[in-house]
């Protein structure tokens, strides 16, 4: 997709693009046309083939929830996307209001309240092994931890539409509302995957805050069996995203991916069971 041609088609002009420091797997630009500011997402090509292919379908279903930005343009093949820009947003890690935990859980529950599915499942084992296949210089002995993936696959629960990538930058807050954005990894998955993605990706290690989050999501249904599943899912996520970070550190050499890898392995090796007391 030629960006100049796209702008000519949409706006009959070529606006000035300003690159932001947002995004790990995409380049994000802002531009302005007729007084309206927009965001342009251009995927970085080296992981395109490793993503689920259901983003367009997910976006159509999520639109009714008013969680995402207002979309102006989306191309399913290139995954180039334009949305209206929202000023004064703060991402999760920088939003110091204590309400951020419950507000995020409310958005996760709102997404899950759809009780819908899309065409594609988040095939965690295939995704994990595709990452391993692209790693030239492994930083970890992944083969010794295959049981973590097996334990996840043996969980007997029906999959449902999930976000699957609740990093800080995908959880945004404005003065009067909250946003859950970026559905590139959106697909059917275990219903608890999003909850533990939120916790593990944002390194929420405080047992009291974890308990607050779990009770906000599960209410009185929280029990030992659920907690066991959450622990399995968290360990699986740490292994999965460690391999993802290892792969991108190999291909791009940026220290941010090495830092993510180290954090995931550190949390994978932690045996602090007080995380799961409630």
- The pTM is what? 0.93
pLDDT at 57 over 60: yes
Total domains in the fold of the chain: 1
Res. 48 pLDDT band, cuts 50 70 90: low
Residue 197 burial by Cβ neighbours in a 10 Å radius (0-12, 13-18, 19+): buried
Res. 263 pLDDT band, cuts 50 70 90: very high
pLDDT at 223 over 80: yes
Res. 2 pLDDT band, cuts 50 70 90: confident
Q: What per-residue confidence (pLDDT) applies to 1?
A: 62
Tell me the pLDDT tens digit for each residue of 160-213.
Answer: 999 999 999 999 999 889 999 999 999 999 999 999 999 999 999 999 999 999
In CATH, what number is assigned to the domain containing residue 107? Answer: 3.90.1200.10
Q: Which of 49-58, 92-101, 183-192, 249-258 has the lowest mean pLDDT?
A: 49-58
Residue 184 burial by Cβ neighbours in a 10 Å radius (0-12, 13-18, 19+): buried
- Find out whether 261 and 249 touch, Cβ atoms under 8 Å: yes
3-state secondary structure (DSSP) of residue 257: helix
Alpha carbon of 206 to those of 62, 85, 210: distances in Å?
Answer: 31, 34, 6
pLDDT at 274 over 60: no
Tell me the pLDDT tens digit for each residue of 120-154.
Answer: 999 999 999 999 999 999 999 999 999 999 999 99
Query: What is the residue range of 184's domain?
Result: 3-276
């Amino acid at each position: 997709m030629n960006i100049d041609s796209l702008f000519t088609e949409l706006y009959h002009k070529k606006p000035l693009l300003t690159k932001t420091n947002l995004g790990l797997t995409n380049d994000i630009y802002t531009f302005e046309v007729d007084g309206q500011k927009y965001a342009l997402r251009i995927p970085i090509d080296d992981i395109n083939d490793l993503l689920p292919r259901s983003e367009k379908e997910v976006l159509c279903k999520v639109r009714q929830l008013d969680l995402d930005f207002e979309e102006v343009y989306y191309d399913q093949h290139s995954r180039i996307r334009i949305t209206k820009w929202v000023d004064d947003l703060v991402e999760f890690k920088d939003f110091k209001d204590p309400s951020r935990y419950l507000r995020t859980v409310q958005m996760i529950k709102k997404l899950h309240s759809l009780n819908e599915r899309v065409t594609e499942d988040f095939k965690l084992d295939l995704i994990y092994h595709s990452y391993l296949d692209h790693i030239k210089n492994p930083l970890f002995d992944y083969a010794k931890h295959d049981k973590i993936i097996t334990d996840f696959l043996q969980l007997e629960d029906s999959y449902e539409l999930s976000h699957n990538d609740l990093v800080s930058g995908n959880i945004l807050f404005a003065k009067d509302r909250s946003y859950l954005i970026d559905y590139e990894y959106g697909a059917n998955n275990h219903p608890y995957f999003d909850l533990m993605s939120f916790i593990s990706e944002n390194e929420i290690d405080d047992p009291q805050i974890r308990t607050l989050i779990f009770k906000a999501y599960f209410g009185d249904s929280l029990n030992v069996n659920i907690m066991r599943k959450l622990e399995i899912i968290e360990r699986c996520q740490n292994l999965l995203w460690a391999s993802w970070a290892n792969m991108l550190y190999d291909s791009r050499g940026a220290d941010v991916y090495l830092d993510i890898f180290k954090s995931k392995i550190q949390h994978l090796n932690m045996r602090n069971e007080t995380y799961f007391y409630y």
